[in-house]
């Protein structure tokens, strides 16, 4: 708190020092900030200027984000009283859960209102119908009945609850039904409750035949089909009430990495238990009778405030299947195919990289050069070794196939696979197994730290000597996310960078202390320290009367030490612009504390994912790209790398593409005020509308000079 006093010293007019502000006065609530991001995504679904199917997709994204919030953060708070290394005291824990719960209920209510009152009616006007039972005509009901009898009923197993049939295990986020029955069962007993699990092998969205949809395309939800025929499952008994329900469980995997002898085998065993972790949220239909929802709450030991009664499907994410079925280009964003940089086309990739660094900006530019970099290395007889980090890469990956081919061809292939990449554990385990069988050396990083850095290294023998070629990036080597996540990557043969990349790999595989790195900033050893050093340097410059300037773009800003350094720099006169997509704990615009700091968030067609850190440094224009956000977990509990852009021309590109357009954006940008409220930025009266992402698609869709 001494630093806080120092920040306020200049603002003090009286002799007596001002009172030390409370923590809540300095930092914004993390949960509310994260949920505010979901409100910004939800605003995209409400925006009539966004194509209709894309609006539905944004609604699905909100649901997916809330799922992960409960599966990970809320679950960890409930289970451990801490998350990301931060201990939460009991009163603060209760307050955090209450605040998050209130906000979540408001978001969910608004989300379903947008779906029912806006998006679905608009889709119907476009000939895309999501039919409930009461909406279906006689012919459609007959088809649905046939589909139920043929495809659904044979797979259903209703379970009547009694001492011999206790409440069944319910899989995480699966579709289920609770049914209340009258009378007695076939054995004369009064079993009143039955549980019905929807088969996971069946699609959740079913398209009706074209002849039954003469005025467009018609769909039914699997839940609606089961609803319509639930009485058929209980012959001789009356269904008094029923409801669909869905349980969200703690999905964080835990293994004692210091005790297990084989992390991969331990994780394989844990993956199955993820489906049956501690229940943290219950979703039911809006018309579910209170006594049935209460029964479910008791079965799952869930508090009433984590019950969500929704006006529609309990899993809105499943509506993405409807989007996939519809082929109406006018209801989607205009197609965009990223350009393959002309200078790299039909050329020897290593020859080009050997002459100068290559900067790639995804998804505005194709990710294919990175895939070609590894593929060329696999085929090139001059290449003797390939080293790669893998955090997320998906079940299907040309890049991973190239690594396997390289190993099969006898090259030294080393892959650092992060087995604890949340929700990608299974894919990474499978790749690790295939790589090892091909002869690659697979390591799993450092015990207790996730390897999150995005690095690849190719070693070629050229004229009797070894030369290093490297790729460093801000995003994952994932074939899908590279198409809709914004990220930067650099291909380089600069020996001062590439040699240090090799040192990082040696550190990861040998577990020895890394050598001193003069250009790369490596977490957990030096990254936070170097960031704070650069921030303080700008403050020193500003105090000397010269312009101090910081622009930083990231996914989240939560590290208190970095925030305190930014506050101090602001008090010293540094002009600071922060572009933070998601959660931000920094409170901007507070007199004497952060009046020189502005915070923006951009939510558009693509997910903003790149991390860019710019420090003016007396016109040296220092720029670092990184895989790390300004979060405690990135700075201390992950292997992360920040790398400098050394080429002056590429520095200008990063500023011109990654920073300036987002400071100018008045279409997709939200500005954060000192109270933690985001306001949508709008074009001023005479200003032209400007979208950073649209601008970049137009600029990078043409050949670069």
- The annotated binding site for ATP is made up of 65, 485, 581, 609
Catalytic hit among 8, 361, 452, 478 = 452
In angstroms, how far is CA 674 from the centroid of its own chain? 26
The whole-angstrom distance between residue 410's C-alpha and the CA centroid of its chain comes to 36
Q: 270 phi and psi, to 5 degrees? A: -75, -30
Residues 221-234 as b or e (16 or more Cβ within 10 Å = b): bbbbbbbbbbeebb
Both structure tokens of 206: 């079913």
Please report, in range form, the residues annotated as the binding site for Mg(2+): 392, 422
Look up residue 510 and give its two tokens: 């040998």
Output b/e per residue, 388-408; b: 16+ Cβ within 10 A. Answer: bbbbbbbeebebbbbbbbbbe
Phi, psi of 543 (to 5 degrees): -65, -25
Torsion of CA 599, 604, 609, 611, to 10 degrees: -40
Distance between first and last Cα of the chain: 51
Calculate the CA dihedral of residues 492, 493, 496, 498 and round it to 10 degrees. 80
Helix, strand, or coil (residue 83): strand
With beta carbons less than 8 A apart as the criterion, state whether 473 and 488 touch: yes
Which residue, 607, 584, 595, is CA-closest to 668? 607
201: buried, middle or exposed (CB in 10 Å: 19+, 13-18, 0-12)?
exposed
Two structure tokens written together for 219: 């769909």
- Could you list the residues known to form a binding site, using ranges: 65, 392, 422, 485, 581, 609
Length of the chain: 705
Distance, CA of 375 to CA of 406 (rounded, Å):
8
Q: Is 519 assigned a catalytic role? A: no
Q: DSSP label at 512?
A: P
Please list the active-site residues.
Answer: 452
């Amino acid at each position: 708190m001494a630093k806080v006093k120092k920040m306020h010293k200049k603002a003090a007019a009286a002799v007596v020092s001002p009172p030390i502000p409370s923590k809540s006065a300095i930092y914004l609530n993390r949960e509310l900030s994260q949920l505010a991001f979901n409100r910004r995504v939800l605003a995209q679904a409400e925006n009539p200027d966004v194509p209709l199917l894309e609006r539905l997709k944004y609604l699905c994204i909100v649901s997916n984000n809330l799922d992960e919030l409960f599966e990970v953060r809320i679950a960890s708070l409930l289970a451990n009283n801490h998350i990301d290394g931060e201990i939460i005291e009991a009163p603060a824990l209760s307050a955090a859960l209450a605040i998050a719960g209130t906000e979540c209920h408001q978001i969910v209510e608004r989300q379903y209102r947008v779906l029912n009152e806006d998006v679905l009616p608009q889709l119907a006007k476009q000939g895309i119908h999501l039919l409930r039972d009461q909406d279906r005509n006689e012919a459609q009901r007959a088809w649905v009945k046939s589909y139920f009898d043929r495809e659904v009923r044979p797979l259903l197993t209703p379970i009547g609850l009694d001492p011999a049939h206790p409440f069944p295990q319910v899989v995480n986020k699966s579709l289920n039904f609770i049914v209340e029955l009258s009378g007695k069962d076939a054995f004369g007993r009064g079993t009143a409750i039955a549980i019905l699990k929807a088969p996971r092998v069946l699609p959740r969205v079913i398209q009706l035949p074209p002849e039954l949809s003469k005025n467009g395309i018609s769909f039914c939800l699997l839940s609606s089909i089961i609803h319509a025929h639930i009485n058929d499952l209980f012959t001789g008994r009356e269904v008094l009430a029923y409801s669909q329900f869905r349980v969200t469980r703690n999905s964080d995997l835990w293994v004692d990495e210091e005790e297990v002898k084989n992390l991969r085998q331990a994780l394989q065993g844990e993956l199955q238990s993820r489906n049956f972790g501690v229940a943290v949220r219950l979703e039911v239909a809006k018309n579910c009778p209170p006594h049935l929802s209460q029964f479910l709450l008791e079965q799952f030991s869930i508090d009433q405030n984590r019950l969500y009664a929704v006006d529609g499907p309990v899993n809105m994410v499943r509506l993405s299947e409807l989007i996939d079925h519809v082929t109406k280009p006018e209801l989607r964003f205009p197609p965009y195919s990223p350009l393959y940089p002309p200078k790299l086309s039909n050329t020897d990739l290593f020859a080009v990289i050997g002459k100068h660094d290559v900067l790639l900006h995804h998804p505005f530019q194709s990710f294919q050069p990175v895939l070609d970099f590894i593929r060329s290395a696999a085929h090139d007889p001059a290449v003797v070794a390939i080293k790669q980090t893998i955090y997320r890469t998906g079940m299907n990956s040309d890049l991973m196939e190239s690594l396997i081919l390289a190993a099969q061809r006898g090259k030294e292939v080393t892959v650092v696979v992060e087995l604890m990449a949340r929700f990608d554990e299974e894919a990474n385990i499978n790749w690790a197994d295939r790589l090892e069988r091909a002869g690659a050396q697979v390591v799993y990083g450092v015990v207790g730290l996730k390897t999150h850095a995005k690095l690849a290294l190719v070693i070629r023998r050229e004229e009797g000597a070894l030369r290093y070629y490297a790729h460093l990036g801000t995003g994952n080597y994932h074939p899908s996310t590279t198409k809709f996540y914004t990220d930067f990557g650099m291909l380089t043969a600069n020996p001062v960078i590439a040699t240090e990349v090799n040192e990082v790999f040696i550190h990861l595989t040998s577990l020895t202390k890394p050598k001193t790195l003069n250009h790369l900033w490596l977490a957990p050893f030096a990254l936070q320290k170097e960031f704070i050093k650069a921030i303080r340097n700008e403050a020193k410059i500003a105090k000397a009367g010269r312009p101090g300037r910081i622009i930083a773009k990231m996914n989240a800003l939560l590290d208190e030490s970095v925030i305190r350094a930014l506050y101090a720099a602001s008090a010293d006169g540094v002009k600071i612009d922060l572009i933070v997509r998601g959660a931000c704990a920094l409170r901007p615009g507070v007199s004497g504390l952060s009046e020189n700091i502005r915070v923006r968030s951009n939510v558009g067609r693509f997910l903003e994912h790149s991390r860019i850190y710019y420090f003016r440094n007396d016109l040296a224009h220092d720029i670092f790209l990184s895989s790390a956000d300004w979060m405690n977990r990135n700075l201390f509990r992950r292997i992360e790398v920040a790398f400098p852009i050394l080429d002056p021309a590429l520095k200008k590109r990063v500023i011109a593409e990654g920073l300036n357009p987002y400071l100018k954006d008045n279409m997709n940008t939200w500005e954060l005020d000192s109270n933690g409220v985001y306001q949508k930025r709008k074009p001023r009266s005479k200003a032209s509308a400007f979208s950073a992402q649209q601008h970049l698609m137009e600029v990078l869709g043409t050949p670069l000079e």
